[in-house]
Amino acid sequence: MAIGGLIGLLDDTAALAKLTAASLDDISAAAGRTTAKAVGVVVDDTAVTPQYLQEVAAERELAIVKQIALEAEIKRNLGGLGYEL
């Protein structure tokens, strides 16, 4: 009887460790997505901030802003369909 209890305890411990590992995996995946989105925001802001674009011609700056707007619209539309980039 004591061996059965020990095996049950070990089984419960293994199940708990497996659940913890799955939770940590989910947390790290969410952190990775959040970091990628934060980096995207910084890059978007940098592209349209004049202090970082000292040597860029005005017509090139407009092309950059247009590309950012286009990519944002694509991401928004795909997000509405349930896709994530």
Tens of pLDDT, residues 19-72? 777 777 777 777 766 665 655 555 555 555 555 556 666 677 778 788 888 888
Tokens of 74: 């694509």
Tell me the C-alpha distance between 66 and 60, whole Å: 10
Under the phi-then-psi rule, with left for phi > 0, alpha for psi from -120 to 50, and beta for the rest, what region is 54? alpha
pLDDT at position 67 is 86
Tokens of 20: 């913890």
Give the count of beta carbons closer than 10 Å to the beta carbon of residue 28.
10
| The overall pTM is greater than 0.75 | no
